[in-house]
Structure 1
């Protein structure tokens, strides 16, 4: 029984299939997708179709990302296009839905509406797209949208003095609640890293698939990771998000 955390996809179906082929998934495995399935490359709608079908065969847990919120809102009312979203991958997502029936779009809307804001497993490992701000943990978060947008949790872990003991009063309370925290949202390529990054008890598995990076799947027990090719190589005639 293996569990993999899979980082941001951003419409890169070819890369997602590459990664899954490396994993040699069985029905005993669990896949935890960290959000941002759409916006960037040309196959966003196709990614959602693929994930819906995959979840019928494999145990999948789907976390909601900020781009998924945008796409969900558009699917609810396709006459209302958020201009910020449109400029950050929304155009490519809208284009990918050309030819999709109303019933199929409603199926996708149902997928987005049922995404989890976070997942906490039996070993007190937390999975969410971005972060949280409450010192009392995710269950007492005052601003739930932070689960999709917060970067301060990751920034705090990167800046933290690694010599501070967890039992110390100086240890951030946000990090004390969970054995491990898994996130996406902030590309490791922003820090010059192509691989998943580890800071304190946080693992970041967004390796820049929206831009010039790769999609990553991390085995949360062994910490072995598997990656696609860089997305521009798989979509040579596209720009992705720049």
Structure 2
């Protein structure tokens, strides 16, 4: 029985299916999706439909990402956030062409039921972005931080690796959990196309929205597999690339 963390998807259904086939997902696996299912490539609505169907046969944990919040607001109220529109929202809106009101309602329910974070029985925390509270994600005052924050990852990258956990200057927010798994900040920002580890944090967003891949990691062994670079599966699209 495996627990697999799946990085940000951003509308890349072809890459997601390819990855799950490579992982040879079994009925007793648990898949923890790190958020940002939509915005980027042309199949965002189709990704949501696929995930809903997948969850009927495989145990899935779905974390909420910032792009998912924007899409949720669009489906609920017709709200088109200007920032969202230029960062993949346009493509997501287009992907819903042909979907019925009933189907959109089902997708809205999916978004509304996404978890802000997930803490497993081994004290491993999964969330999309980060948290700032020294008391942990459960005590975060501003819930938006859980899917927007980048300071947790940036801080962890900057920590002197020789600092002991019991040192007075060791960040208190890292002490609450055995491990922390995040997405949101692509590792490709650091010229890395595989998962990155810093202290007790693993970042599994390997840049699928841009020139990177979707990653699936076995969180017990740290072995991982990846899709092809998503842009190669959508050769006629730019995704969220500016080039």
Residue 221 of structure 2 is matched in structure 1 by 222
**1:21 shift after superposition:** 0.2
Partner SS, residue 211 of structure 1: coil
**1:188 shift after superposition:** 0.2
1:81-230 to 2 correspondence within 5 Å?
81-230=80-229
Residue 233 of structure 1 is matched in structure 2 by 232
Residue 10 of structure 1 is matched in structure 2 by 10
Question: How many pairs does the alignment contain?
Answer: 241
Partner SS, residue 61 of structure 2: strand
**1:231 shift after superposition:** 1.0
Residue 23 of structure 1 is matched in structure 2 by 23
**1:168 shift after superposition:** 1.4
Once residues 70 and 169 of structure 2 are traced to their aligned partners in structure 1, the CA distance between those partners, rounded to angstroms, is: 37
- 1:76 maps onto 2:76 in alignment: yes
- For residues 94-130 of structure 1, give each alpha carbon's deviation from its aligned partner in whole angstroms, at most 9, with x where no partner exists: 0000000000000000000000000000000000000
Once residues 97 and 30 of structure 1 are traced to their aligned partners in structure 2, the CA distance between those partners, rounded to angstroms, is: 28
User: Which blocks of at least 5 consecutive residues in structure 2 are unaligned?
Assistant: none
- Which aligned runs of 4 or more in structure 1 are off by greater than 2 angstroms? none
TM-score by length of structure 1 reads 0.99
User: Which blocks of at least 5 consecutive residues in structure 1 are unaligned?
Assistant: none
- RMSD, aligned α-carbons: 0.5
TM-score by length of structure 2 reads 0.98
Once residues 139 and 224 of structure 1 are traced to their aligned partners in structure 2, the CA distance between those partners, rounded to angstroms, is: 28
Once residues 188 and 18 of structure 1 are traced to their aligned partners in structure 2, the CA distance between those partners, rounded to angstroms, is: 20
